[in-house]
A and B are shown apart, each in its own frame.
Chain A
Amino acid sequence: MKILKVAAAAAMTFALATAPAMADDKPVVGLVMKSLANEFFKNMLEGANAHEAKRGDYVLKAVGMQSEADIETQINAVENFITQGVDAIVIAPADSRALVPPLKRAMEAGIVVINFDVALDEKAKEENGVELAFVGPDNRGGAKLAGDALAQKLGKGGKVVIIEGNPGADNAHQRKMGFEDSIKEGGLVLVESRTAHWETEEANTVATNILTANPDIQGIMAANDSMAIGVVKALESAGRSKDIMVVGFDNIPAVSPMLSDGRLLATVDQFGQEMAANAIDIALDVLAGSPKPQGWVRTPVTLVTGEK
């Protein structure tokens, strides 16, 4: 990948900004992603690369960030893409408000913009007079799938705990709400809800301590699989693997052994690898003349369990 070279490329192409983007007339798609230190986005990028190779009818330029909160880099990337005169920008915004103005500029420059993974803020869009569809998974609905699986196993009155992601992160919030939907619907009892900042070691510690304070809990819902791994290990150490159920989210490779032996009841796959590719497909369709998508284009979300 040539992520780091994009800035240099941007500078070089600046002089050619008015010229056609590519000589062979293949449309150029700029992909703006979040932290590539995150396995999820790493997979997504690889999916997109594979997709580019498979379709062969467009050129992909991808930019990642240093960390989850590196909004600056994303804004710069969007602006560089505008300068380069790409045909489409496909973006997983790091901030649902801050990215709206630069994306508006991109649209004004005639670039097709597709927002995926995290939805831009409705109000911010309205204020800026931007109409932009969102292509992405339903984190809340996905979490509810996992939560429902747990609720079904435990039955009414089952005592559960939520291990949350980073407070303030939109997907963390959505997933927590999804879990809470299941709890309400399935008649579960929420004993505690705590953050472990998406992190395995912290989830391990937090789960251990919650278990000490509440030995009677029956299920734990973790907002991602990294934390689910820490939770599973905590239960193993406490000798409670048999009687406490765990669900996660993301379906990362590391949990597959846990799913097969039942230490993890279920996780949710939002097909991250295909998510960027799907968004690119939509962008290319629009470029080919299809109508612009409206509202929320939901991408598939599936429950994954050990019983396959």
Chain B
Amino acid sequence: MNVEATGLAQTAFTGRKKLSFKSVLREAGIGLALVALVIIFSVTTEHFLTANNITNILTQVTINLVLAVGMTFVILIGGIDLSVGSLLALCAVVAGKAISLDVGVPMAISLAVLAAVLAGTVCGLLNGAISAFWALPSFIITLGMLNVARGAALHISDARTIYSFPSEFNAFGSMTLYGIPVVFLVALMLALLAWFVLTRTVFGRLLYGLGNSEEAVRLAGHSVFWCKVAAFTICGFTAGIAAIIYMARLNISSPIAGVGFELNAIAAVIIGGTSLSGGRGSVLGTLLGAFIIGVLANGLILLGLSDFMRQMITGVVIIVAVILDHYRAKYTRN
């Protein structure tokens, strides 16, 4: 028995050795696809590889990245959350109401952030508790929540766009640091935190375990219920954060915001190599997956392709990415 202290810290839990060719391929595979896209767009378009455009891509990736990070937790345990797009709208509307209160700018902004995060967290908690308690498929529970949240958003806002937020709040949405949007830094920090939780905590370990074999985790004496609830709660929390970013970026809250965002988030997670049946995947993969979607959307517009072509190519790339990942996973496993 040999214990190599070097490779261990990084990989003990997923069972991969650090620098073997296979492990590089495994983690970097989707990264290579991203690099390929970047090269293609850099060669074919004039403006892709400019500082401004990179800033734009980072901004455009942000919301999807935040949602996808939350979605990673849910998909890792073999679940799915279809409600995040609607939750974003609900959180944005609730926060929009809060920020319009006449309590002074700092207070209003704090209240708005709190309201958005709280609304998302509570809805996520409900998603998790209901599907875990009655052992119901999260697909259908979150589909229900999708409607509940959208309806609530429309009801609360009376179907009207809420606007005129404090300029301080607005400024935060377009603020950059050395060309990097602050909102993206927020998303990145969230991703880092998620990475830490998933790889370095007991909770994260149990989530991976749950996705692989719920029974094994239960028989090892852990509470499966609370792990599931926590995963969905985190996903709801990220919807709240995404709502704040949405508001700061666009300076409005719309009850019809975020339609279909859940599908983009799921796509980012799956492209990033997380198994839809759970148990396998990483936040790094999700980050790369979100970038693939973002870069593709950006690059295809720069290329001047028509809307319909763009939609088709995006679909094809998603399918190809997942097929490639299938083979990559197969190859690195044997």
Contact = CB atoms under 8 A, between A and B. Distances in A.
A125 B301 CA distance: 40
Interface of B: 45-47, 50, 52-53, 56, 59-60, 63, 150, 154, 158-164, 174, 246, 249-252, 254-259, 297-298, 301-302, 304, 307-308
Given A237-B59, A252-B161, A212 B47 contact: yes
Contacts of A205: 60, 297
A254 interface: yes
A292 interface: no
Contact of A253 (B46, B160, B301): B160
Nearest to B154: A37
Contacts, number: 90
Contacts of B251: 229, 233
A247 B52 CA distance: 25
A39 B304 CA distance: 32
Contacts of A104: none
Interface in A122-173: 167
Taking residues whose C-beta sits less than 8 angstroms from the other chain, chain A's interface range is 20 to 34
B63 A201 contact: yes
Given A37-B154, A233-B249, A206 B254 contact: no
Contact of A213 (B47, B163, B249, B255): B47
A200 B254 CA distance: 8
B56 A212 contact: yes
A16 interface: no
A167 B46 CA distance: 28
25 contacts: A36-B154, A37-B255, A39-B159, A39-B160, A167-B307, A200-B257, A201-B63, A201-B246, A201-B258, A208-B56, A208-B60, A209-B297, A212-B52, A212-B56, A212-B302, A229-B161, A229-B250, A229-B251, A230-B250, A238-B52, A253-B161, A254-B162, A254-B163, A254-B164, A254-B252
Contacts of B164: 254, 257
Nearest to A213: B302
B216 to A, nearest CB: 42
A205 B250 CA distance: 11
A206 B60 CA distance: 10
Interface string A214-226: 0100000000001
A108 interface: no
A195 B307 CA distance: 7
A206 B163 contact: no
Contacts of B304: 192, 213
B252 A209 contact: no
A292 B252 CA distance: 44
A199 B256 CA distance: 8
A88 to B, nearest CB: 26
Interface in A216-250: 226, 229-230, 233, 236-238
A194 B249 contact: no
Contacts of A230: 250
